[in-house]
Amino acid sequence: MNTVIPDRIKIAYRYPARAVGAAGALLMLVSIFLPWAYGTAALDDMSYYGAPSPLQLCFGVLALTVLALLTIPLVGKQRLGKWAKVLAWNTTAKTASITALITAAIAVTSVAVELGGLLNVEIGGWLVIFGGVAAVASTLFLPDSPEPSLDEVKSPKWLQILAIVVLMAVALFAAAFALGQVDAGAFLTFGSFLVAVVMVLRQFGVFGWLGMAAAANNRVLVISAFVVAFLFPFTQNGSNANMSIAAQVLIFAATALGLNIVVGLVGLLDLGYIAFLGAGAFTAAVLSESAYSHFNFHPPFIVTVLISGLVASLLGLIIGAPTLRVSGDYLAIVTLAFGEIFRITMNNLDGNDGPDITNGSNGIPDIPDLNAFGFNFGQPHVILGIDIGRFANYYWLMLLVIALIIVVFTNLNHSRIGRGWVAIREDELAAEAMGVNTFALKLLAFAGGAFLAGVAGAVKAHHDVSVTPDQFIFLESAFLLAAVVLGGMGTVMGVLIGATILKLLPEKLRFFSDYRLLLFGLLMVVMMRFRPEGIVADERRQLEFHAEDEELAEEVEEELITHKAHLNPEREVFEL
């Protein structure tokens, strides 16, 4: 981050700036022991002296971070040893103060909004803002640190694994805590705190190191992530509200992962993808034992899932075979038209305009809960003294589906097929000239992606209890696409994050549900303008969007050839 303050002034005032910043951080630290609000109803009750609420403790963490970042370097370069070089102290202090101030502003604004006016903000609330402003203003005077190079420090394997496991445990705890916030202001404040923590860790160089550790211990990362996800229902104490959201997030994410193959890997823009989810859902509904289904064939669930997937991929073949020959833009519109055809057809199969299969716009209600592997998904049960409700069952089922999808996805990505897909995305003509069977591969991606959506749809039908055509409008396809784009095309992690954000935020922030779509549209435009590669960027993809960035190009090239794991001695360090 470049500031307008010239280096000369920065160096002259580096000690006073550090002192003022530390004082600001101290003020923030003190403020958490003071009340922030006159009423108890705002956020998580910040109206006591000497007893910080959990959210106030979060501010304590941020304040201590700023304080530590500003004071520890005073120990001196000699005694800090290599840590002085590989960590970005000053820049991180700046990031920490700025994010702390933003988080404080969100908290204070929430107090004002929820209690009706700024008058309700108590001394502590003003103090934290004041301290934050002081910290931000003074850290702007600190000289910039060089890029952190913690990822080049050698570390023992056990430490890396331990770090990953701890990170996952913290993530579980944070997710449970965030979902536990019923108050919208509290949820926003905590969300902002999490973003602050992530940004601070990234700036400090910890994320670079974690990324290296994660790459080196990929299996540990994946397994611990799944263990954490598996344990999540146990943190909910039988509450169904959050588990229902979580299950919906996973269904959405599974569909988005399917779309990710088509859009992210092969580069085929599909604007009617929701139709495949719909095909799966309707197939499962018709084959279920719902009284409104007109079929007398009720196979066991595992067969239903397969049939749903196959029906969806058959549709994928029908729509793909003739249209995959046309180029990108056309394909987008054809798939959009196909999505509309699907929805209208489902609406019309009501006995009046066509054969009666789907009950038209009423859809198929009363779909019974799944009964598979001798286990009824509708029954709540108790494990280790903790209630596990109906939605938790579906959550675990979807977790299994997503695990399968990820295994298939990563294996395909690193296989001949995956390389063929990426080649098609980068340059179809060149790929064809190199002997890649582009048509067959595109068709495979289309049908495969559709199969995944169909499977997700089959679970969705049972989870939602009813299936109606108007669940599968164009906007849903746009949301799926947004999840892929927002998270990062072609990456599994990114799509999971994108899907979570897009499903979770509207559920938690109901007060602006009216502005949800407006912000969604704005977000798509802003994303494409400023970070088209998404939150988690696939590096090769990132290069596509920033073709002029020579540095990035070299980085990607280097990474593709070899992983560097040695400390770079020639790094310049801007010292105190």
What's the rounded Cα separation, in Å, for the pair 371 and 369?
A: 6
Q: Which of residues 495-514 bind other proteins (CB under 8 A)?
A: 514
Residue 333 within binding range of other proteins, rule CB under 8 A: yes
Q: Which of residues 524-553 bind other proteins (CB under 8 A)?
A: 524-525, 527-529, 532, 544-545
Q: How far is the CB of 520 from other proteins (least distance, A)?
A: 6
Of positions 295, 330, 375, 511, contacts other proteins by CB under 8 A: 330
Q: Which stretch binds other proteins (CB under 8 A): 35-43, 89-97, 141-149, 322-330?
A: 322-330
Of positions 9, 41, 57, 326, contacts other proteins by CB under 8 A: 326
Query: With respect to other proteins, which residue has the nearer C-beta, 12 or 341?
Result: 341
CA neighbor of 259 nearest in space, from 339, 358, 323 = 339
Of positions 227, 337, 400, 509, contacts other proteins by CB under 8 A: 337
Q: Which of residues 452-491 bind other proteins (CB under 8 A)?
A: 474-475, 478, 481, 485
Residue 351 within binding range of other proteins, rule CB under 8 A: no
What are the backbone angles phi and psi of residue 37, rounded to the nearest 5°? -135, 150
Across 194-222, b (16+ Cβ under 10 Å) vs e yields bebbebbbbbbbbbbbbebbbebbeebbb
Q: State the maximum Cα–Cα separation within the chain, in Å, rounded to a whole number.
A: 85
Query: With respect to other proteins, which residue has the nearer C-beta, 204 or 479?
Result: 479
CA neighbor of 572 nearest in space, from 153, 148, 151, 14 = 148
Q: How many CA atoms lie within 13 A of 159 on its CB side?
A: 7
Q: How far is the CB of 475 from other proteins (least distance, A)?
A: 7
Residue 355 within binding range of other proteins, rule CB under 8 A: no
Q: How many helices (H) and strands (E) does the chain have?
A: 24, 4
Residue with tokens 């064939």: 297
Residue 443 within binding range of other proteins, rule CB under 8 A: no
Of positions 59, 232, 338, 395, contacts other proteins by CB under 8 A: 338
Residue 323 within binding range of other proteins, rule CB under 8 A: yes
Q: How far is the CB of 354 from other proteins (least distance, A)?
A: 7
3-state helix vs strand vs coil in the chain, percent to 5: 70, 0, 25
Q: How far is the CB of 342 from other proteins (least distance, A)?
A: 10
What's the rounded Cα separation, in Å, for the pair 61 and 28?
A: 10
Q: How far is the CB of 271 from other proteins (least distance, A)?
A: 8
Q: Which of residues 24-83 bind other proteins (CB under 8 A)?
A: none
Q: How far is the CB of 195 from other proteins (least distance, A)?
A: 22
Q: Which of residues 251-310 bind other proteins (CB under 8 A)?
A: 263, 267, 269, 271
Judged on CB neighbours under 10 Å (0-12, 13-18, 19+), 532 is: middle
Query: With respect to other proteins, which residue has the nearer C-beta, 76 or 322?
Result: 322
DSSP string, 271-292: S-THHHHHHHHHHHHHHS--TT
Q: How far is the CB of 532 from other proteins (least distance, A)?
A: 5
Residue 334 within binding range of other proteins, rule CB under 8 A: yes
Residue 438 within binding range of other proteins, rule CB under 8 A: no
Residue 570 within binding range of other proteins, rule CB under 8 A: no
Residue 322 within binding range of other proteins, rule CB under 8 A: yes
Who's near 478: CB < 8 A, 6+ residues apart?
271
Q: Are 28 and 131 in contact (CB under 8 A)?
A: yes
| Cα torsion through 538, 540, 542, 545, rounded to 10 | -140
Who's near 574: CB < 8 A, 6+ residues apart?
90, 143, 144, 145, 146
CA neighbor of 461 nearest in space, from 184, 558, 469, 269 = 469
Q: Which of residues 372-431 bind other proteins (CB under 8 A)?
A: 428
Query: With respect to other proteins, which residue has the nearer C-beta, 114 or 350?
Result: 350
Of positions 166, 182, 291, 517, contacts other proteins by CB under 8 A: 517
What are the backbone angles phi and psi of residue 388, rounded to the nearest 5°? -120, 115
CA neighbor of 151 nearest in space, from 215, 220, 78, 80 = 215
- Interface with other proteins by CB under 8 A: which residues? 263, 267, 269, 271, 319, 322-323, 325-330, 332-334, 336-338, 340-341, 344-345, 347-348, 352-354, 428, 474-475, 478, 481, 485, 514-515, 517-518, 520-525, 527-529, 532, 544-545
